[in-house]
Chain A
Amino acid sequence: MQRRVVITGCGVVTAAGNDLESFWKTLMEGAPCIGPLTGFAYAEMGQLSGAEVRLPAEDALPPDVDPDRGRARCLELGLAAARRAWAGAGLELGPAQRERAGVSFGTTMGEERQVGDLSQRRHAQADVGVDARFFARANNHRLAACVASTFGLGGPVLMTTTACSSGNAAAAQAFDAIASGDADVMLAGGADVLTRLIYCGFQRMGVLSASVCRPFDKSRDGVSFGEGAAAVVLESLEHAQARGAHVLAELAGYGMSNDAHHITAPGPHGEGFVRAVHQALAHSGLGLDQVSYVSAHGTGTPYNDKGESEAMTTLFGARAKRVPVSSIKSILGHTNGAASAIETVACVLAIQQRAVPPTAGWREPDPEFDLDYVPGKGRPHPVDVCLNLAAGFGGHNVCLVLRRFS
């Protein structure tokens, strides 16, 4: 018998705010946080545009965590989000309980800036060697390990990557750990930073937006990037109830699929999305007719948004126009491995606030698709069951099902 998994704490660090209230307010206003970058640059590309996080000084990593000060931005963001989620859940665990609590995080690039720094130093001075801590710093698992060490957790500590669906994949791993009885509490999340590789790579592939991304719009021209992190505290229902925790939502289940179509391009017609959604709903014991909101992957690239819209049309049929589908990447940029983790928090807030966030910047319908993309600003809507869809390079699709707790 699978145990029920509930969400009792959420934390975000995003360009839209570092607390839930300002995050949700900015989302609902539909004002993109994408603009000229000040904290990250790459001279060859001129002035870069993106969505940056401004962390308060108290979130700076302590020297024992980051001896090479300021060189672990992904870890800094991930830990900041985890602290907020942990505090929100009001968890106070004893030593034995900490051994049944773990961490599951996802990232697309992790500490890729370590590699960038090394290349830069070597370019400036040819005989620069690799320092003793390089290998440890470039290790993605360091993020999950540092989060676990900070909270003294001894359960499963996992780092998952499925490119830009990593946040959802990490939540899926955490779900399994709790549902199977292997852990009682899991901190699940995702984190990613702005990197040279991402900007240059997407520019060379011709999928970087020339302005601000406009998911699902007829004239969408590509991705805008952002940085950020989010985490949720997942608990078994029994554990949450035993400590009298306030349950924010239930993570009812998940589904996965793989396009295996191309190393970067999504599969045709959103067929992978459809399979992931069917599996997620079957896992959750819910039906398509119960879905009241879809948090879309919605990157703003012609191919992704087309496939995703086709998938929604296939899935919901005649009801497709009546199910709100929105992409908050229009506000936060694409935060890669953090994106679906941030969107999970947005889904929890949508359930709590009985409202759906908008797709900012959507102006003109694509004649091929006629769905409710929630243009402009957010609006009230009774949200009981959400699908959180995410996809990654290589075709890694992961769908979470979140529902109002009852």
Chain B
Amino acid sequence: MKGAVAVTGFSLFTPFGVGWEALASALDAGRVAVEPATDAPAVGVARIVDFDPLRHVNVRGMRVYPRATQLEICAASLALGDAGLSGDAALDPRDLGLVTASSYSHLETLLEYDRGLVSAGMQRTNPTLMPLGLPSAPGAATGLALPARAFSITLNDGGASGLAALGLGARAIAAGRARACVVAGAFTPFAELLESSSRAGNAASAERFRVLDRDAAGVAFGEAAAALVLEPLELALGRGRMPLGIVRAESTRFAPTAELAPALGRALSAALAAAGAGEGGVSLACAGANGSPREDAAHVDALSSALGAHAARVVVAAPKANLGEAFDPSGLVQAVVALGALRARRAPPIARLTTPRGSALRLPMAPAELAPGLALLTSISPSGSCSALVLSLGAE
């Protein structure tokens, strides 16, 4: 990635609250937000309670937007504020880009619109709902709200777009396509997803849900929204902004067969190579493991293989153990968790972990001290895309 790309702001909405402090204390304490779903009690789900978008951002049409879109707009707006790029310091909208990670956020609206079409007929449908049922709609609404006029693009990478979206945003910044770029995503679990996953045998109950554990039984789902602001490091420093982190490299690879670990391993190797870093420089692995035995095994195997002899001293964090699988925003949440852990030199424990999967890696059951170094992030989409991202605190 030519030219260093800095993270200069972020925001988070999770079931533990708004912002990093609320999440950090929950992670540190090993709290799990997953509960039995009201409409599908056999499935675990973690929801954000008491969310009122107008408490955070007041933009035209906010009440009409679906909840996931409201969450993304709020996350993106708060992240710009955190970066010091709002109000009087706001950029010319033509200098602000937006990358949205969103595979499923439109589906609930689409289901609602289509249900109305079939049951009440075309003339009784709400015409404003139709454009909100497009997969690009959350990004379009967020671009309108900010506003972001340099570009707006949405990745639909099957539920693990967050890391790829950060990579895309960083490349766009490095190429000079915008002065700053917001990378955002949001996900709200909905009934059809829970039912389909339950029938497919992929879902775990709230009670049985655990991650990177030999007894992991499946996925629980979580509601979340996150956004990060990326800028050229030089420009950030030029306006007196110390970076929260540096996006060193990202790589996405695909598993054309059922074998996920080799594809994730190739993504990890490519990302480390692009970052100009050896595996010895990694101190934290922030894995997108979600309780699916197949995916958990792939994260462990790929990380163990990529880190080689260094694996035993790399601490692994897995925030989905606390939050559930939130798909597209998950990679963004992982990025915030990784930067927070590097800064504090302390990694959170993996919640509910009792019998760790795999022996090569350090899977902590209590908060663990971190050596200075890089963070390596991983994600896997249900359709086989595997992404890896390298983050550091400084530009060195």
Does chain B have a CB within 8 A of A318? no
Question: Closest Cβ of chain B: how far from A258's Cβ, in Å?
Answer: 4
Q: Is A300 an interface residue (CB 8 A)?
A: no
Contacting pair A182 B152 (CB below 8 A): no
A279 touches B122 (CB 8 A): no
Verify if A40 is at the interface (C-beta below 8 Å from B). no
Which 3 A-B residue pairs are closest in the complex by CB-CB distance?
A: A394-B140, A141-B158, A201-B130
**Cα separation A102 to B159 with both chains bound (whole Å):** 18
At the interface, yes or no: A130 with Cβ under 8 Å from chain B? yes
Question: Counting CB contacts under 8 A, is B321 at the interface?
Answer: no
Partner of A145, one of B132, B133, B384: B384
Do A153 and B254 touch across chains, with their CB atoms under 8 A apart? yes
Among A61-69, A115-123, A287-295, A351-359, the stretch in contact with B: A115-123
Evaluate contact between A160 and B154: CB separation under 8 angstroms: yes
Q: B136 touching A108 by the CB < 8 A rule?
A: yes
- Contacts A119-B111, A140-B103, A155-B254: A394 and B200 contacting too (C-beta < 8 A)? no
Asked whether any CB of chain A lies closer than 8 Å to the CB of B318, the reply is no
B122's nearest neighbour on chain A, judged by CB, is A200
The answer to whether A196 has its CB under 8 Å from any CB of chain B is: yes
Cα separation A290 to B67 with both chains bound (whole Å): 47
Asked if A258 and B117 sit within 8 Å, CB to CB, the answer is: no
Q: Does A326 contact B (CB under 8 A)?
A: no
Contact B384 A157 (CB under 8 A): yes
- Chain B residues with a Cβ closer than 8 Å to the other chain, count: 78
Name B's A-contacting residues (CB within 8 A). 61, 93-94, 97-98, 103-104, 107, 110-111, 113-115, 117-119, 121-123, 125, 127-128, 130-137, 139-141, 143-144, 146-159, 164, 168, 171, 175, 177, 192-193, 195-197, 199-201, 251-257, 263, 266, 270, 274, 381-385
Interface: A260 (CB within 8 A): yes
B254:A44 contact, CB within 8 angstroms: no
Tell which of B144, B200, B257 touches A260, judged by Cβ atoms closer than 8 Å.
B144
Tell me whether A257 is interfacial, beta carbon within 8 Å. Answer: yes
* CB–CB A131/B114 < 8 A: no
A395 pairs with B158, CB closer than 8 A: no
Q: When the two chains form their complex, are residues B125 and A173 in contact, meaning their CB atoms are under 8 A apart?
A: no
> Among the listed A123, A155, A203, which residue makes an inter-chain contact with B118, where contact means beta carbons less than 8 Å apart?
A123
CB of B170, distance to nearest CB on chain A (Å)? 11
Is A152 part of the contact surface with B, judged by Cβ < 8 Å?
A: yes
8 A Cβ contacts from A85-126 to B: 98-99, 102-103, 107-110, 112, 115-116, 118-120, 122-123
Verify A122–B98 contact, CB threshold 8 A: no
Q: Are A160 and B131 in contact (CB under 8 A)?
A: no
Knowing A119-B118, A394-B140, the reply to whether A204 touches B61 (Cβ < 8 A) is no
In-complex Cβ contact of A161 among B136, B384, B385 (8 A): B136
Q: Are B134 and A109 in contact (CB under 8 A)?
A: yes
- The answer to whether A159 and B255 touch across the interface, beta carbons within 8 angstroms, is no
CB distance from B240 to the nearest CB of A (A): 28
Give A102 to B252 CA distance when docked, in angstroms: 10
Q: Please determine whether B196 and A131 come into contact, CB atoms closer than 8 angstroms.
A: yes
* Additional 18 contacts, C-beta under 8 A, given A123-B118, A263-B137: A120-B118, A122-B115, A133-B200, A138-B107, A139-B103, A141-B157, A155-B253, A161-B154, A196-B114, A201-B127, A201-B131, A204-B123, A204-B127, A256-B151, A257-B149, A392-B136, A393-B131, A394-B139
Given contacts A160-B156, A197-B110, contact A260 B125 (CB under 8 A): no
Residues of A within 8 A of B140 (CB): 163, 263, 393-396
Quick check: B135 and A258 within 8 Å, CB to CB?
no
Which of A44, A45, A136 touches B382 (beta carbons < 8 Å)?
A136
- State how many angstroms separate the Cβ of B21 from the closest Cβ of chain A: 32
- Tell me if B's interface is mostly helix, strand, loop or mixed: mixed
Are B201 and A132 closer than 8 Å at their CB atoms?
A: yes
From the candidates B110, B117, B151, B199, name the one contacting A257 in the complex (CB within 8 A). B151
Whether B135 and A110, one on each chain, are in contact in the complex, defined by CB atoms closer than 8 angstroms, is yes
Shortest Cβ distance from B133 into A: residue: A197
What A residues does B177 contact at CB under 8 A? 256, 279
Q: In the assembled complex, which residues on chain B have CB atoms less than 8 Å from the CB atom of A135? A: 192-193, 196-197, 200
Q: Is there an interface contact between A258 and B151, defined as CB atoms closer than 8 Å?
A: yes
- CB-CB under 8 A from B144, the residues of chain A are 260-263, 394-395
Known: A134-B196, A257-B151. A393 touches B111 (CB 8 A): no
Query: Residues of A contacting B139 with CB < 8 Å?
Result: 162, 394
A66: min CB distance to chain B, Å: 15
Q: Does the CB pair B200–A159 fall under 8 Å?
A: no
Cα A115 to Cα B117 with chains together (Å): 12
Q: CB distance B135 to A154 under 8 Å?
A: no
> CB distance B118 to A393 under 8 Å?
no
Known contacts A99-B253, A142-B158, A145-B384; A205 and B130 CB within 8 A of each other: yes
Contact B122 A203 (CB under 8 A): yes
How far is A102 from B153 in the complex, measured between Cα atoms in Å? 19
B153 near A148: Cβ-Cβ < 8 Å: no
25 contacts between A and B (CB under 8 A): A109-B134, A118-B192, A119-B115, A122-B115, A123-B119, A132-B201, A135-B196, A139-B104, A140-B103, A141-B158, A157-B157, A157-B254, A157-B384, A157-B385, A158-B157, A158-B252, A158-B385, A159-B155, A161-B154, A197-B130, A197-B133, A257-B94, A263-B61, A263-B144, A393-B134
Residues 230-271 of chain A, each 1 if its beta carbon lies under 8 Å from chain B, else 0: 000000000000000000000000001111111110000000
Which single member of B98, B114, B130, B383 contacts A258 (CB below 8 Å)? B98
**Cβ A256 vs Cβ B153 within 8 A:** yes
In the complex, how many angstroms separate the beta carbon of A131 from the nearest chain B beta carbon?
6
For B130, give the chain A residue with the smallest CB separation. A201
Cβ-closest chain A residue relative to B1: A180
Q: A204–B130 contact, CB under 8 A?
A: yes
- Measured between beta carbons, the chain B residues less than 8 angstroms from A131 are 196, 199
Q: What distance in Å separates the Cβ of B258 from its nearest Cβ neighbour in chain A?
A: 10
- B127 lies within 8 A of A149 (CB): no
**Which residues in A have their C-beta under 8 angstroms from that of B134?**
108-109, 161, 163, 393
Bound: A157/B132 CA distance, A: 26
